[in-house]
């Protein structure tokens, strides 16, 4: 990164993760600084569930780095230069990756939020202006499009995030602090975490990792040891604002669902069950049912305890939200209820919340 680039810090505090220590917050990983940090050795990858086809960190870096890009988003700046940026503008830097051979690039929504111009830089050094295909604040996912020769496009494959296990080795590639194509590695520290999107909507099923990720990693890929993208690195839990060994990635299965909708229509519809719920000693209890919703039409009532959706048992509200988030409006689900000591099964057609 050239020394002439004057950037304003744009790190965005989006939420404190439930159960986090005092003062610790989940911080979005857009880079706006111009300093160069001291070099730090990345933690070694290890796993109790490494597949026999596992690649080395070096092999993953070699095959995947061509598909990882730098995303530079410029926006109007009201603070005069030199406190803002040259010509009254400011710039935020993040990461993205090549999704298909059509020139579609996936990144975080918060990387490009408020931008008036977006530039994508490829590992070859080629820089091109990008157009925004669509973005979804509720999942912090955005799709860009670039017109480049197919020779520039190394497509990265999405893996199945539902198969990720604690202890699996992972590799992250991104641009922390503007240091292009930095590779770090670690393990999956936890699965099924809940983080908050920029609009405070819960994002379910996030992958927690101790791989070192920092500001500028936002929108970058998190790989399993077979070289598949299992998530988008998006936030860290930190008191200092820098990596503390607790990072979070949006799961690839959610990424695939959202990106498919953005490429199809430029917008996203999120599934709605139509109930307010709370965790109680006997499970997930319905506190209220929205009139006219799919749950209402199916006969779900306040006081019902939701025990299962399809074959999946439900014991927490987070489990239920995760299942609903993985579906689309119009999908039908079989919901098992406990009402006045009796078991009841209903079929609910999901609505749309946006």
Q: Which residues lie closer than 8 Å to 331 by C-beta, 6 or more apart?
A: 271, 349, 350
Predicted pLDDT at 81: 44
Cis peptide leading into residue 62 (ω within 30°):
no
Residue 62 backbone phi and psi in degrees, to 5: -65, -45
State yes or no: pLDDT of 271 exceeds 50: yes
Helix (H, G, I), strand (E, B) or coil at 248: strand
pLDDT digits (tens, 9 = 90+) for 69-113: 999 999 876 555 444 455 556 788 999 999 999 999 999 999 999
Tokens standing for residue 32: 């706006």
State yes or no: pLDDT of 286 exceeds 60: yes
pLDDT digits (tens, 9 = 90+) for 297-320: 999 999 999 999 999 999 999 899
The model's confidence at residue 8, banded by pLDDT at 50, 70 and 90, is very low
Q: What percent of the chain has pLDDT over 70?
A: 80
Say how far apart CA 108 and CA 156 lie, in whole Å.
16
Predicted pLDDT at 282: 84
pLDDT digits (tens, 9 = 90+) for 12-33: 333 222 223 333 455 555 555 4
Q: Mean pLDDT over residues 151-177, rounded? A: 96
Residue 229 backbone phi and psi in degrees, to 5: -75, 120
Strand pairing partners for 129?
119
Q: Please, what are the domains in the chain? A: 1-35+42-268 (2.40.10.120), 271-352 (2.30.42.10)
Contact 126, 250 (CB under 8 A): no
Signed CA dihedral, 55, 139, 292, 288: sign only? positive
Predicted pLDDT at 84: 46
Say how far apart CA 58 and CA 64 lie, in whole Å.
10
The pTM (predicted TM-score) of the whole model is: 0.75
Active site residues: 110, 140, 218
């Amino acid at each position: 990164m050239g020394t002439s680039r004057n950037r304003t810090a744009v790190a965005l505090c989006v939420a404190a993760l439930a159960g986090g220590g005092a003062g610790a917050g989940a911080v979005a990983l857009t880079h706006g600084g111009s300093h160069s940090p001291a070099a730090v050795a990345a933690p070694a990858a290890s796993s109790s569930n490494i597949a026999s086809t596992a690649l080395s960190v070096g092999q993953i870096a070699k095959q995947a780095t061509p598909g990882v890009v730098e995303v530079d988003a410029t926006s109007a700046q009201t603070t005069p230069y030199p406190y803002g940026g040259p010509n009254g503008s400011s710039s935020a830097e993040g990461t993205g990756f090549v999704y298909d051979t059509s020139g579609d690039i996936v990144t975080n929504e918060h990387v490009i939020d408020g931008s008036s111009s977006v530039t994508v830089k490829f590992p070859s050094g080629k820089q091109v202006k990008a157009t925004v295909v669509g973005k979804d604040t509720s999942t912090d996912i955005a799709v860009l499009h670039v017109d480049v020769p197919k020779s520039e496009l190394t497509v990265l494959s999405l893996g199945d995030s539902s198969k990720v296990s604690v202890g699996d080795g992972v590799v992250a590639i991104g641009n922390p602090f503007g240091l292009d194509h930095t590779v770090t590695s670690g393990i999956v520290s936890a699965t099924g975490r809940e983080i908050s999107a920029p609009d405070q909507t819960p994002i379910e099923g996030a992958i927690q990792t101790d791989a070192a990720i920092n500001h500028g990693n936002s929108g970058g890929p998190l790989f399993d040891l077979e070289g598949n993208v299992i998530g988008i690195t998006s936030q860290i839990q930190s008191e200092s604002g820098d990596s503390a060994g607790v990072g979070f990635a949006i799961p690839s299965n959610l990424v695939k669902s959202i990106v498919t909708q953005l490429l199809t229509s430029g917008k996203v519809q999120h599934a709605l069950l139509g109930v307010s719920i709370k965790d109680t000693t006997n499970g997930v209890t319905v506190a209220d049912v929205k009139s006219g919703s799919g749950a209402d039409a199916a006969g779900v009532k306040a006081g019902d305890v939701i025990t299962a959706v399809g074959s999946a048992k439900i014991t927490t509200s987070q489990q239920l939200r995760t299942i609903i988030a993985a579906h689309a409006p119009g999908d039908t689900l079989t919901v098992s209820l406990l009402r006045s000591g009796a078991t009841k099964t209903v079929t609910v057609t999901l609505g749309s919340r946006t």
